[in-house]
Chains A and B, each alone.
Chain A
Amino acid sequence: MVERRPWLDALSHLVLILGVLIIALPVYITFVASTRSTSEIIHPPMPISIGSHMVENYQAALSGEREGPGSKAAVGHMMTVSLVMALAIAIGKIAISLLSAFAIVYFRFPGRMLFFWAVFITLMLPVEVRIGPTYQVVADLGLLNSYAGLTIPLIASATATFLFRQFFLTVPEELTEASRMDGASPMRFFIDVLLPLSSSSIAALFVIQFIYGWNQYLWPLLVTTDESMYPVVIGIKRMISGGEAQTDWAVIMATAMLAMLPPALVVMLMQRWFVKGLVDTEK
């Protein structure tokens, strides 16, 4: 749009500011709550200015040394679990789908289209649909309460395979032929030519999949029963005690703030590649 009208500018700013407020306000309230004592939070009105209990709340959250009912797992450890899980899912997904897309696009083998469609059709089935049988398999393999159980069932990704397939189809055929003339083996071509060319798609996918892995809730809820294997998202839930007992909301809010940091960091640090990956047309 090249139109320049003052009221249009004002309107677009208004819309943007509203959008920012809708997203930022809950985050701000969470932050405020994490700096107050629990009694200040639960007695209305809810304070909207930063309080004085910030250091002790975050310390309590990170160390797990706190009173009251609910889980006492240390947030530091839960964050590590979450980080390992999110990284394993993101990297695993990218590795598996790059290789399967490579196979589907560049090799002629019997059943190639069958495999492609088998992968493609699983796009329609979210984790929740197959969660019962998947749980059975993971349990029978003795993978409950382990990183393998947390990550492997989530690694297979039709979306990423499809995305890379579409990208590989746009790579000019002459490049493949030129590398054949240069004497590159298929894997050499994959590593030296295809991977660098898909780097921005890989970065974009990494950001998306990292956040996907970090935010997993239902699956970890099923396969982890041991506190030491809780990802932080589950940890927050377990801190909330049911029934009449008092919940330490200040610490929970501090935990929530901490849990938001890594995905936010990943997005901020990789934003440049992320955007490039989504808009880049250079082949």
Chain B
Amino acid sequence: MASISLRKVVKRYGCGPKANQVIHSVDAEVLDGEFVVIVGPSGCGKSTLLRMVAGLEEISAGEIAIGPLVVNQIEPAERDIAMVFQNYALYPHMSVFENMAYGLKIKKLPAAEIKARVDKAASILELSALLQRKPRELSGGQRQRVAMGRAIVRKPQVFLFDEPLSNLDAKLRAQTRLEIQKLHRDLGVTSLFVTHDQVEAMTLAQRMIVMNAGRMEQFGTPEEVYARPASTFVAGFIGSPPMNLLSGEARGSYFYVGGISLDLPAPAPKDGALILGLRPEHLDHWNAATGWPFQVEMIEMLGAERLVYGRLGTEAFTLRIDGTQVPPLLGQTLMLELSAKHLHWFDAETRNRL
């Protein structure tokens, strides 16, 4: 087991002034045995970053170390890592056993050792009955487990997962998520997991890296990322429905937005142009006697809760309320009451948290 250090890692394609830079100086330290999820929208560079750790992409600048060893110039096979690919990349002509054993065979391990390791991994993953099957005879979930088995048998220092759940249906995905968590708890191997799905990220991560357009926006525990988003991007990306972001003008304990002025429970950190963030679920009362005037336009029933869409002045705003309560009427104006601890303030220019 080992830690992973990313130091000022840069990736660009092409060279000279026309080079296309896709990763902008990422600095991160993944601790020994930690499960870190890299999350971001598609095209944000998260897979590229993972592939650089794997050694499948060259590192343009900066360095990556696994344990004490800088691996920039080291072949993927010698980095002591294992990777699970999005489409599993099983060898179609080999049986499940051969797929899992292939890497060990190349390492020239004795046959008995290979068999013992594969059998053990197969029993962990409940693949024992399928060892002689070909990948095409397996279901999607089983293939996914074989891909994980292939990673496990190598007993690597680091697991890399490249969106391994995105080809599964929703039910299987939730189940596999739990299995991966259990696996990590049992094996304790340092893991890097790439996904675009924030639910996967929140549930699996011990700490998560939120990426946007090749930059690391925030690196923290899911609780931190949810409670104290570092930028408006993170605020909008994590949480469903996303945090309400209102661009307006703060003056003392008033916030001017969408043609109205809102009475703040505590003064803004500074006067001037700011962005105010408020999560749809963080309201003390949505039907108070006084507060922020919110006009209801649409309601969605999700079972345990309702999503209420509407406007604060002219700005779009969303509420999430308990599904068991009597819902507001369409067109009704509600008075929202909230407390200071739920307000998030962002700089209008840098869009970073204040």
Q: Which A residues contact B (CB, under 8 angstroms)?
A: 172, 174-175, 177-184, 188, 192-193, 196-197, 199, 282-283
Contact = CB atoms under 8 A, between A and B. Distances in A.
B226 interface: no
Interface string B229-273: 000000000000000000000000000000000000000000000
Nearest to B51: A177
Interface in B98-134: 102-103, 106-107
B83 A181 contact: yes
A196 B134 CA distance: 14
Interface stretch (B21-29, B84-92, B169-177): B84-92
Contacts, number: 61
B143 to A, nearest CB: 12
Nearest to B160: A181
Task: For the complex of A and B, list the 10 residue pairs with the smallest distance between their C-beta atoms, beginning with the closest.
Answer: A183-B77, A174-B89, A182-B103, A178-B89, A196-B93, A183-B106, A174-B85, A181-B76, A180-B76, A181-B83
B180 interface: no
Interface string B160-202: 0000000000000000000000000000000000000000000
B55, B89, B150 interface centre (most CB from chain A within 10 Å): B89
B82 interface: yes
14 contacts: A172-B89, A174-B86, A174-B87, A178-B89, A181-B76, A181-B77, A181-B81, A182-B77, A182-B106, A183-B75, A183-B78, A192-B102, A196-B93, A199-B93
Contacts of B64: none
Contacts of A178: 83, 85, 89-91, 150
Given A172-B89, A180-B56, A180-B75, 7 more contacts: A177-B76, A178-B85, A181-B54, A181-B56, A183-B77, A183-B103, A197-B93
A174, A182, A183, A197 interface centre (most CB from chain B within 10 Å): A182
Nearest to A174: B89
A172 B87 contact: yes
Nearest to B90: A178
B351 interface: no
Nearest to A182: B103
B169 to A, nearest CB: 21
Interface of B: 54-56, 75-78, 81-83, 85-93, 102-103, 106-107, 136, 150
A174, A183, A193 interface centre (most CB from chain B within 10 Å): A183
Contacts of A199: 93
Nearest to A185: B106
Contacts of A192: 91, 102
B58 to A, nearest CB: 12
A76 to B, nearest CB: 40
Contacts of A196: 93
A179 B76 CA distance: 10
B103 A181 contact: yes
B89 A177 contact: yes
Given A174-B87, A180-B77, A181-B81, A283 B102 contact: no
A188 B106 CA distance: 9
Contacts of B91: 175, 178-179, 192-193
Contacts of A179: 91, 102
Nearest to B154: A182
Given A178-B85, A181-B76, A183-B77, A283 B103 contact: no
A240 B13 CA distance: 69
B163 to A, nearest CB: 12
A174 B90 CA distance: 9
Contact of A177 (B56, B75, B107): B56
Contact of B136 (A172, A175, A282): A282
Given A177-B85, A178-B85, A282 B102 contact: no
